[in-house]
Amino acid sequence: MEKSSLDADCCALNTVLVEEKKGHLIPNGNAHQDVNGTLNGGPISAATGAISAAEAEKRQGFPERETWTRQMDFMMSCVGFAVGLGNVWRFPYLCYKNGGGVFLIPYVLFIFLGGIPIFFLEIALGQFMKAGSINVWNIAPLFKGLGFASMVIVFFCNTYYIMVLAWGFYYLIKSFNSTLPWSTCDNPWNSENCIEIFRHDDCQNGTIGNSTFGNLTCEELANGRSPIIEFWENKVLNISEGLDEPGVINWELMLCLMAVWVMVYFCVWKGVKSTGKIVYFTATFPYVVLIILLVRGVTLPGAYDGILYYVKPDWSKLGEAQVWIDAGTQIFFSYAIGLGALTALGSYNRFNNDCYKDAFVLAFINSGTSFFSGFVVFSILGFMASEQGVDISKVAESGPGLAFIAYPKAVSLMPVAPVWAALFFVMLLLLGLDSQFVGVEGFVTGILDLFPGKYYMRYQREIAVAICCLLCFIIDLSMVTQGGMYVFQLFDYYSASGMTLLWQAFWECVVVAWVYGADRFMDDIARMIGYRPFPWMKWCWSFITPCVCMGIFLFHLLNYKPLTYNNVYVYPWWGEVIGWCLALSSMLCIPVSLVYKLSGAKGTFRERWENLTKPVWGGHHLEYMAPDTDIKSLASLSPGTEENKIL
């Protein structure tokens, strides 16, 4: 059961606040109104000898929480985290698959029904509570399991997501060759079935001539394998027959993995002061590359057809449930909701930062990037379809298939191919890198917030980041083996899947809107930003967004299909059991924690509920109270025990 108590300094501060009923602590930028003395960042000069909450924390050994050097640091970090590989390799494919331009109708609708409301909720919650993904739920301690659930999800996400960066880094290194290694069939990893001929429509009268392999029949051509597929499967993955055959470690890939983790470590180890600077490059440079690739793409033959496939509306698709489900799921994926990292980023904001405006700006940037990326991707895919003489549906892919098969194949057909290959994989690396290190930042922030000030030590952050990176790296070793792709897919499909994120988002809305109180939280936001957000946010948190989340969640559950690889290999039953264990390890945190806390508390059920849902405030809440706050509630504020202290 969560306990609330007042230490001596904070008790003295409350005494001053109760005695001085005419004085309130009002946020006005960098300073505060005097309360029987000076509160401008210093101690209170009162007869009781009370001091400010911030000063009290320092005296008790609690380090003052970092804040962004500039507000733009926060904006760029959010852009870097939320705008990732999903915007480039998933949205364009979903748009093409689900009716082109028509897909934008349900997509935009879900932005306002679920995306922006929860995006804003997570940032505002972090900013108000000044805590990471676990201690932020001191707002309703009974549901602190939400914080542990998000920590489990982001840990799994950090573990497997970096494999995409390792593969991208490997391809980047291999791009520095005069001839791209995936463009020819004369490599040691190529099989006898490898052919470089792509134009299937040239197959006439039973043979194809003018080939380095001699005359090939149409049947032989159909059984042939592309060099890019063989490079991916035989060289990069060196894939085994199944999950039960892990095989040996690919040492080249392991070195790439190690290099990427080292980069992540040195991006995160010094906290937001350094992270906020690095994202200026990692978040903006991919846009430069995207623009360069678009300019190049639209000048290629077949680009117009590719773009037309991307945006051409198919109105009949609006009647299909799958289109709406894909739109809703994509919003939760691309907005990075439910991972706790947005909460951690928001916790480093100034208390009176206008996070409401930030949420809309960031949502526009995120979705705008997704839409813009579609033109880049499909102009290239249109060129590739034209070169191969096939329909665009044959080359349009999503996920790793687009990044490591379709796109590398496309650049191999371009003049000066190594240059375009290097540009693409630099963009891929940077898009994933900032998402990765912000995810690690969110995880480490949540962990460090659990330790009270008396356990603070020098180099605490550096050690925590090192342990996190090392632990993830050890788990990642299973993904650089010959059976590594099967392990990767297990993590991708179950641990941070649509179901786990939707479950998390549903409970976030329920707890804030119905346990803590939607109107109450709107008042808290007004204290921070100086005005009340549009009531639409409250309506979404209370009714619309939970219904959307649970509706899509149930659809996923009812339409569950066993995991396969390339639609050929079916995972064994024990593989699916492992997958469901990964999913349930986060989902069960919420109900298990709730039952454990309720059963361990004393009193009637009503008394337990009231005690366990009573917020545990931080020292900063004592300073940032609005002038119309009831003095009784002001006096009841407490930072809790040291164990519940918010750093």
Q: Is the C-alpha dihedral spanning 454, 459, 462, 467 positive or negative?
A: negative
Q: Tell me the one-letter amino acid at 11.
A: C
Q: Which of 350, 351, 355, 353 is nearest to 621 (CA)?
A: 351
The two three-digit tokens of residue 183, written as one number: 């463009």
The two three-digit tokens of residue 334, written as one number: 């691309």
> 489 CB contacts (<8 Å, ≥6 apart)?
563, 565
Q: Which residue has the tokens 């409301």?
A: 117
Q: Report yes or no: 142 and 597 within 8 Å, Cβ to Cβ.
A: yes
Q: Is 50 left (phi over 0), alpha (psi -120 to 50) or beta?
A: beta
Q: Which of 462, 510, 440 is nearest to 161 (CA)?
A: 440
82 is in an annotated binding site: yes
**β-strand pairing of 569-570 with 207-208:** unpaired
366 is in an annotated binding site: yes
| Cα–Cα distance measured from residue 355 to residue 348, given in angstroms and rounded to the nearest whole number | 12
| Cα–Cα distance measured from residue 504 to residue 481, given in angstroms and rounded to the nearest whole number | 32
Cβ–Cβ contacts within 10 Å for residue 543, how many?
Answer: 13
Q: Report yes or no: 408 and 238 within 8 Å, Cβ to Cβ.
A: no
Q: Within its chain, how far is the Cα of 259 from the centroid? A: 22
Q: Report yes or no: 504 and 586 within 8 Å, Cβ to Cβ.
A: yes
Q: Report yes or no: 440 and 268 within 8 Å, Cβ to Cβ.
A: yes
Q: Which residue has the tokens 């200026």?
A: 280
> 33 CB contacts (<8 Å, ≥6 apart)?
23, 24, 25, 26, 39
175 is in an annotated binding site: no
334 is in an annotated binding site: yes
**β-strand pairing of 216-217 with 207-208:** antiparallel
Q: Report yes or no: 35 and 18 within 8 Å, Cβ to Cβ.
A: no
Which run of H or of E encompasses 216?
Answer: strand 216-217
| Cα–Cα distance measured from residue 551 to residue 569, given in angstroms and rounded to the nearest whole number | 30
Q: Report yes or no: 134 and 147 within 8 Å, Cβ to Cβ.
A: yes
80 is in an annotated binding site: yes
| Cα–Cα distance measured from residue 327 to residue 338, given in angstroms and rounded to the nearest whole number | 17
Q: Where are the alpha helices (DSSP H) in 413-478?
A: 417-449, 460-476
83 is in an annotated binding site: yes
| SS3 annotation, 333-377 | HHCCCCCCHHHHHHHCCCCCCCHHHHHHHHHHHHHHHHHHHHHHH
87 is in an annotated binding site: yes
253 is in an annotated binding site: no
Q: Report yes or no: 439 and 341 within 8 Å, Cβ to Cβ.
A: yes
Encode burial over 65-74: b for 16+ CB neighbours within 10 A, e otherwise: bbbbeeeebb
Rg, the chain, Cα only: 27
434 is in an annotated binding site: yes
Q: Is 251 left (phi over 0), alpha (psi -120 to 50) or beta?
A: alpha
| Cα–Cα distance measured from residue 222 to residue 563, given in angstroms and rounded to the nearest whole number | 27
The binding site comprises 80, 82-83, 87, 334, 366, 431, 434-435
The binding site for Na(+) comprises 80, 82-83, 87, 334, 366, 431, 434-435
